[in-house]
A and B are shown apart, each in its own frame.
Chain A
Amino acid sequence: MKKFLLAASVSALTAGAALADEVRIGVLLGFTGPIESLTGHMADGAELAFQEINDAGGILDGQMIVPVRADSGCVDSALAQASAERLITSDGVVAIMGADCSGVTRAVLENVAMATGVPMISPSATSPGFTDFDSGGLFFRTAPSDARQGAILAGIVMERGFETVALTHANNDYGAGLANAFIENFEEMGGTVTVVVPHEEARGDYTAEVGTLSAAGGDALVILGYPDGGGSTLRTAWELGAFDQFFIPDGMFGDDLIASVGEALEGTVGTLPWAVGEGPDRFHAMAEEAGFAGESSFTRESYDAAALLALAAQAAGEATPAGIAANILRVANAPGEEILPGDLARGLQILAEGGEINYVGATNVELIGQGEAAGTYREYVVEDGQFVTVQFH
């Protein structure tokens, strides 16, 4: 026991010593829970940015960035807050890349980040609720708000000639926020939503939900959720012959959906935040080299969120929560030299010399309002078990 205590105190001392030339940044994502199939790639995306910076000699004259992963559970606010508190108090992170799902992100922001003054950049919290929320300059996101996605999806449904639809959404901040945005826009365009049924994740059977949707009727079914519950709902609805055409948002996108839902998905149309141009192309090449799926949902946004945190620290001249928070908008937007994925070393150098940069990154980052992405969307359709791009909005 004495030996163990001695060893523990020695390792604690060396850890303390190591802190001097390293900067810790939290990577708070739902490694368990409904989007666990996405978060592995997202974390890899974020860590790719940190790795690129460390390979170039780190930030602020040689301080290395150490990412610390923690679990948000996606739908478990208690777990997410406990993880965030651990990151800040025990691991001593200066900023958090995360959280992921809107509900837990809001909980962590209000109860942990705002209480301790630590800035967060979420790569995937898309609830419209954040647009008007005053976080005191601590919250940013590289994913665009669902208010915009709702409008675009409504336009796509209308354009394809479906004027009455039934709608089901995941029973959380993300699903409800997106549903509100969709309904508002769809009804403005003259469409009718016959019924709105919230669904829970992780149920064995969705027959009852589908029965209600089918009873209300509609030419198509809009499912605003995750591959898990939303995917099961889609499959059940198709198998019972209740609906033939489905519309889905970014949360449902993923190869897992095709694997689990199969032929029912054929012809399904959806939206996904996407960017085209040199930035995303370069990022996809880098991801492929690093050995993870760069095209998976929110992986690009994760890289950008991580890069922004590091660049902001460099711009501030100090790796402190307040310094990072104050400089994120400055490095993200014009004026300045455009920085693409792979250019992070150059960006750091320009900042070190007192210059200005305009981080473009993997998603053509432009932060508007209090600090959320403007965003472009990809419209896709499922053909022969593949997501095929139709056009960009």
Chain B
Amino acid sequence: MDILNALVVLTNFVLIPGLAYGSQIALGALGITLIYSILRFAHFAHGDVMAFGTAFVILGTWGLQAAGISFGPLPTALLALPLGIAVIILYLLLADRLVYRFYRRVKAKPMIFVMASLGVMFVTNGLTRLLMGPGERRFDDGQRFLVSAREFREWTGLAEGLALRSSQVITVVVALIAMGVLFWFLNRTKSGKSMRAYSDNEDLALLSGINPDRVVWITWAIAGTLMVLAGTLYGLDKSFRPFTYFMLLLPFFAAAIVGGLGSPVGAIVGGYVVAFAEMGITYAWRRVFSHLLPADWMPAGLMQALPVDYKFAVTFGILVVVLIFRPTGIFRGKTL
């Protein structure tokens, strides 16, 4: 019984939130890693483009709600996803045409690309605030809980509660589907193979007749889709606020680098590593151990490695350790 209680506490406060957060980071890191390996630069506008796309999903959700259309127990925002994805793909292609294409033509150094994407980031940042304002927006509707903490306690008779929100399940399911489709596309389709060829060796790929513009377009389209998915899922699960989306840039890059830049599997693994490290290291383990240890063995403290404020420090810490000891990341990606 006590072990069960300990497990429930751990699941409630670390495993479920960590799994949902990890999936959101993994989707973001996948986009970063794709852009890095094919377009060959670190895309700093990722978080803000994500916010911009989510803003359109929210507008679409409001429109659908106003028209009286709902998705039953599922959030209406899922129906508005195509709108957000379409707008963001157009936006990214426009950004590519106006900004990045020029630097690609003159074969600019990666650092110049990064600075250009920083500029795109500031512009997008402003556009999002013009469109939605800087404040917090909640746009989740439908059934909020699959299992609520109080119901769980009543059903099981356990001392601890367990909450499972539908947005957390949706996050994990949608993320898994998106990852599956992406791997199928990269490994099984002709376009996917041409992207991997272009990523491995640009000159060789051009010689064998691959159209570079097409590869660039497809990359932006996939990255844009992943961004809007990650942004919408994060917003459904937590809340939408342009500033928090911008702050997600750090865990995204940490996940992509930890997993190995350029490796899609690495980005996913990295996402979960970063999420569980952030959660686990700043979690106060006292409650879990109070169910496992005899009362007189319990230490007085909270059994917390770092206070909650240091969440971002954990991410930085992982990044530094990986860059020192294994700069290629877990899955032998490229170095920055």
Contacts and interface: CB of A to CB of B under 8 A. Distances in A.
A164 to B, nearest CB: 15
A215 B149 contact: no
Interface stretch (A3-11, A154-162, A195-203, A287-295): A195-203
Interface stretch (A172-180, A205-213, A308-316, A344-352): A205-213
B176 to A, nearest CB: 21
A198 B134 contact: no
Interface string A224-261: 00001000100000011110000000000000000010
Nearest to B165: A239
B12 interface: yes
Nearest to A238: B149
A204 B17 contact: no
Contact of B286 (A171, A207, A215, A260): A215
B150 A241 contact: yes
B244 A203 contact: yes
A200 B248 CA distance: 16
B284 interface: yes
Contacts of A209: 308
A297 interface: no
Contacts of B139: none
A330 B91 CA distance: 62
Contacts of A212: 282-284, 302, 304, 307-308
Interface in B233-258: 234, 238-239, 241, 243-244, 247-248
Contacts of A210: 13
A208 B138 contact: no
A363 interface: no
Specify which of A32, A171, A241, A242 lies most central, judged by the most chain B CB atoms within 10 Å of its CB.
A241
B326 interface: no
Interface string A117-161: 000000000000000000000000000000000000000000000
Contacts of B145: 239
Interface residues of A, number: 29
A72 interface: no
A217 interface: yes
Contact of A205 (B13, B17, B284): B17
A260 B135 CA distance: 13
A83 interface: no
Specify which of B149, B165, B247 lies most central, judged by the most chain A CB atoms within 10 Å of its CB.
B149
B241 A202 contact: yes
A22 interface: no
B238 A204 contact: yes
Given A215-B285, A239-B148, A208 B163 contact: no
B153 interface: yes
A241 B13 CA distance: 10
Interface in A81-116: none
Contact of B149 (A199, A200, A205, A239): A239
A249 to B, nearest CB: 21
Contact of B13 (A203, A204, A211, A260): A211
B325 to A, nearest CB: 26
A171 B307 CA distance: 13
A216 B163 contact: no
Contacts of B134: 32
Contact of A216 (B12, B150, B243, B284): B284
Judged by DSSP, the binding face of A is: mixed
B153 A241 contact: yes
B284 A215 contact: yes
A240 B161 contact: yes
A185 interface: no
Contact of A207 (B13, B138, B152, B234): B13
B24 to A, nearest CB: 10
A204 B241 contact: yes
A260 B138 contact: yes
A209 B284 CA distance: 9
Contact of A208 (B148, B161, B165, B282): B282
B252 to A, nearest CB: 13
Contacts of A36: 135
Nearest to A211: B13
B241 A211 contact: no
Interface string B147-163: 01110110000001111
Interface string B208-252: 000000000000000000000000001000110101100110000
A211 B244 contact: no
A197 B148 CA distance: 25
A364 interface: no
A266 to B, nearest CB: 12
B302 A216 contact: yes
Nearest to B288: A215
A208 B283 contact: yes
B309 interface: yes
B239 A198 contact: no
Contacts of B279: 207-208
Contacts of A240: 12-13, 149, 161, 163
Contacts of A216: 284, 286, 302
A209 B14 CA distance: 12
Interface in B277-327: 278-279, 282-287, 302-304, 307-309, 311
Q: Which 6 residue pairs of A and B lie closest in terms of their CB atoms, listed nearest first?
A: A241-B149, A241-B161, A215-B284, A204-B244, A215-B287, A211-B13
25 contacts: A32-B134, A36-B135, A171-B309, A198-B309, A204-B239, A204-B241, A204-B244, A204-B248, A208-B283, A208-B308, A208-B311, A211-B13, A211-B284, A212-B282, A215-B283, A215-B287, A239-B145, A240-B13, A240-B149, A240-B161, A241-B148, A241-B149, A241-B153, A241-B162, A242-B149
Interface of B: 12-14, 17, 21, 134-136, 138, 145, 148-150, 152-153, 160-163, 165, 234, 238-239, 241, 243-244, 247-248, 278-279, 282-287, 302-304, 307-309, 311
Given A212-B307, A241-B150, 17 more contacts: A36-B135, A195-B302, A197-B308, A202-B136, A202-B241, A202-B244, A204-B247, A204-B248, A207-B17, A208-B279, A211-B283, A211-B308, A239-B165, A240-B13, A241-B148, A241-B153, A241-B160
